[in-house]
Structure 1
Amino acid sequence: MGCGSCSTGKDGQPKGCKNNGTCGTDGCNKLTVFDWLSNMSLPNGQEAFNCVEIRFKNGRKHFFKNTENLTLSMGDVVAVEASSGHDVGVVTLTGELVRVQMKKKRVKVDSEEVLKIYRKASQKDIDIWQAAREREEPMKVRAREIAIRLQLKMKISDIEFQGDASKATFYYTAEERVDFRLLIKEFAQEFRTRIEMRQIGFRQEAARLGGIGSCGRELCCSTWLTDFRSVTTSAARYQQLSLNPQKLAGQCGKLKCCLNYELDSYLDALKEFPRQDTKLQTQKGTAVCQKIDIFKGSLWYAYEGEWMNWHELTTDQAKTIIQAAKDKKPVASLEEFAIELQQEIEVDFSNVVGQDSLTRFDKPKTSQPKKRRKKKRKPQKAKANANSNPNPKTGQKRPRKKSNNKKNNPSKDA
């Protein structure tokens, strides 16, 4: 999830996932590139490309020149040139693939943006770098408290120290312009270092902080997405999505970047459909498009004044009706085409596998009912004889049980 502090533990061990160099969630290796040209040797007489790609905190990457011809490999910690002093970063890519990346991002080798590498980082450089990184979190808490006390409408999202701990860059987001001149004075007096304020967008803030999206996976901007294209509500309309801001908005509060992923496929599919604002002219009346289904290739039309009765048509049928109206030979009604559509859809189902329906297990089996066993009952004559039979021990008749009914004992009432 963009855990920039994972790879900053002491002795080269990560702090967060404790995975010792490889992050299970790919947060430590954010925006990594597999060098598929590493095992290939260069042709004879060709020199190796002298630029490398170096990663800093939260996936920030830049290209640097290897003017000293150092033997570098992926994962090496190096000290590079900065605006003032030096910075410390990790080598993420070397060789000919860097040339491809620079061409892709339109970065020229001779441009002023490409600085040079000083040396491989010594243990002293790494210790200063680690000590500076440990100060970032408490500084962020204190900086937010100062901004709240000054009543500035801004949010400080992250702090990044330079490798030599000579400068701290404060990343913040704000909807309006903020006058932070007094804030910088207090920061410099509080933290005793040079301060640089850099405003970023809400999408960049989400990319730096990371998180889990509604799909259950890590945010695309914090793992692999590098360019942030503008997303409009028309992308949701083309994909027949409900314009619910709670579902369409991401963690940054803006429209989700994934709305653009399948937009081109939807636009290609919509080319086969007639325009939705085109009305169908028939002899019965004028029909207006109410709904379309891109996957089925169907459209639903309703006559003006009969908005509750929808008629389903295919794209070919709708085009046929439109062309007939242009030729001034309008069709009689939409019901003719709707009936044909129903007849085409009705296809006999063949039970190939033997599974008739999904609820076949819920229905009882149609088999012969089981015969219930009749319990044998003793005849009542046997009970009467049992009461009249004398006791085998005494030879006297068994007395009858007295009844509590008054009808049976009329002598008690007398």
Structure 2
Amino acid sequence: MNENETLYYVGIKFLGNDKSYYFSTSFNDLKEGDLVVVETAGGLEMGKVSTPLTQINEYKGSLELKPILRKPTKDDLIDYNFNLEQGKKALNITKKEVEKLELPMDLLDAVYTLDGTKITITYTSSEKRVDFRELLKKLVHLIPARIELRQIASRDKAKMVGGIGICGLPLCCSTFLTQFEGISIAKAKNQMLTLNIPKLSGACGKLICCLSFEDDTYTLEKKDFPHLGTLIHLEEGDYFVDAFNIISRTVRLANQAKDDYKTFPLEDIKAMLNGTYKKKEITLEKEYRLPDFKITSTNVKENSYMGLHPDKNDKGKYNSIEKNNKMQKSNQNNNKPANSSSKKENYNRNNKHKHKFNRNKTNG
């Protein structure tokens, strides 16, 4: 590279390792996802660009950056794909030997360098140290390369393998987290979570990383809330702050016997403590009541609401409540007893027809 050329630096990720390593370059057309060939402590390797191009004068690291050697050639790509297949075969060979020796090892991956001179076998174990000297003696005769066994922790395993978290989304460690922070149970206490370790544990078996995402927010917001146990005087008696919810900004109060609980907005609690709280009385502007109605139909489905929703398949069998009420009133009017004048009129009409019938009979 010429000193007059504009220099950049980019992050590179290698197969089997999700961490980005930074290298300098004079290529000004590199973009995320491009393959490049670099020289590492393990040998010649091919990696993938993981960060955008950045001016070299903005680099703030303490280590000197190694340069990107070249973009991959056709031969590099052939060697790379060949090494992928050889890595799978080497992993199967190692698994068989581990089973024979009954070693407490969970093998994850086997990756060759681009030149094929070195292979790195990654594993996890429940034990801190595993005596794999006997395993190496056998692998030397089975795998023609320099062998490195690399043990990683359970969180690194989850990052490498991936998975779905309790939230239903891909694991944070396998998507965007580049390094792990220390997470203690104190963060769960700070967020007032139930200390149920299985529910607070992730796929790796450790406390979930998202406990640290909102911890600073809870620490800041809790300053606005009264301390647990703060005494609050109500008309019903003395109550104490039992719990509060930062998201809904509400405070729950409990009496001394803890058999009565009341929930108030944070603003009302502050007013109570300042002596400026005024109880809000809820009054209705108008009295509402349900209308009186009577169900006359007996063919009503169980899931229909008090006969108000008729069966769509039986049209004509049901009438609305208003129509039923009108029909009931009409029937009542028809069933009323006739008055004296109408009785007399009916009597005269019947006698007239009877007299006419007798006269016709006599003439015949």
Provide TM-score, normalisation by structure 1. Answer: 0.59
Equivalent residue runs for 1:99-248 within 5 Å: 100=58, 102-103=59-60, 107-108=61-62, 111-112=63-64, 114-175=65-126, 176-248=128-200
Equivalent residue runs for 1:220-369 within 5 Å: 220-278=172-230, 287-304=239-256, 306-312=257-263, 315=266, 343=280, 346=282, 364=308, 367-369=321-323
Letter in 1 for 2:181: R
Q: Deviations over 1:12-66 (max 9, x none)?
A: xxxxxxxxxxxxxxxxxxxxxxxxxxxxxxxxxx852243332322534222233
**1: CA distance between counterparts of 2:52 and 2:119?**
28
Letter in 2 for 1:119: R
Letter in 2 for 1:73: L
Shift of 1:208: 1.0
RMSD: 3.9
Shift of 1:132: 0.9
Is contact 1:48-1:96 (8 Å) kept? Answer: no
Partner of 1:65: 24
- Match 1:77 to one of 25, 28, 35: 35
Provide TM-score, normalisation by structure 2. Answer: 0.66
Shift of 1:322: 6.8
- Look up the SS of the partner of 1:165 in the other structure: coil
Shift of 1:277: 4.7
The runs of 5 or more residues in structure 1 that have no matched partner are 1-45, 325-336, 351-360, 375-414
**1: CA distance between counterparts of 2:162 and 2:150?**
19
Is contact 2:8-2:28 (8 Å) kept? Answer: no
Is contact 1:154-1:172 (8 Å) kept? Answer: yes
Partner of 2:347: none
Q: Deviations over 1:111-147 (max 9, x none)?
A: 24x2233333222222122111122234333323333
Q: Structure 1 pair 368/217, CA: closer, same or farther in 2 (3 Å)?
A: same
Partner of 1:87: 45
**2: CA distance between counterparts of 1:124 and 1:61?**
25
Q: Deviations over 1:145-197 (max 9, x none)?
A: 33343333332222222121211112222342222222222332322211112
**2: CA distance between counterparts of 1:65 and 1:143?**
36
Shift of 1:81: 0.9
Q: Structure 1 pair 257/134, CA: closer, same or farther in 2 (3 Å)?
A: same
Shift of 1:89: 1.9
Q: Structure 1 pair 81/299, CA: closer, same or farther in 2 (3 Å)?
A: same
Q: Structure 1 pair 282/99, CA: closer, same or farther in 2 (3 Å)?
A: same
The runs of 5 or more residues in structure 2 that have no matched partner are 287-303, 310-319, 332-364
Q: Structure 1 pair 164/99, CA: closer, same or farther in 2 (3 Å)?
A: farther
Q: Structure 1 pair 52/307, CA: closer, same or farther in 2 (3 Å)?
A: closer
Letter in 2 for 1:183: L
Q: Determine which structure has greater relative contact order: mean sequence separation of CA pairs < 8 Å that are 6+ residues apart, divided by chain length.
A: 1
**2: CA distance between counterparts of 1:271 and 1:227?**
30
- Look up the SS of the partner of 1:217 in the other structure: coil
Is contact 1:77-1:91 (8 Å) kept? Answer: yes
- In the alignment, is residue 54 of structure 1 matched against residue 12 of structure 2? yes
- Look up the SS of the partner of 1:368 in the other structure: helix
Letter in 2 for 1:192: P
Is contact 2:7-2:24 (8 Å) kept? Answer: no
**2: CA distance between counterparts of 1:191 and 1:349?**
87
Letter in 1 for 2:69: Y
State the identity %.
29
Letter in 2 for 1:141: N
Shift of 1:84: 4.8
125-134 or 260-269, which deviates more: 260-269
- Look up the SS of the partner of 1:81 in the other structure: strand
Is contact 1:48-1:95 (8 Å) kept? Answer: no
Q: Structure 1 pair 321/215, CA: closer, same or farther in 2 (3 Å)?
A: closer
Q: Structure 1 pair 277/80, CA: closer, same or farther in 2 (3 Å)?
A: same
**2: CA distance between counterparts of 1:267 and 1:247?**
22
Is contact 1:147-1:183 (8 Å) kept? Answer: yes
Q: How many pairs are equivalent?
A: 295
Q: Which has the higher strand share?
A: 2
**1: CA distance between counterparts of 2:305 and 2:271?**
46
Q: Structure 1 pair 201/237, CA: closer, same or farther in 2 (3 Å)?
A: same
**2: CA distance between counterparts of 1:233 and 1:347?**
47
**2: CA distance between counterparts of 1:214 and 1:160?**
31
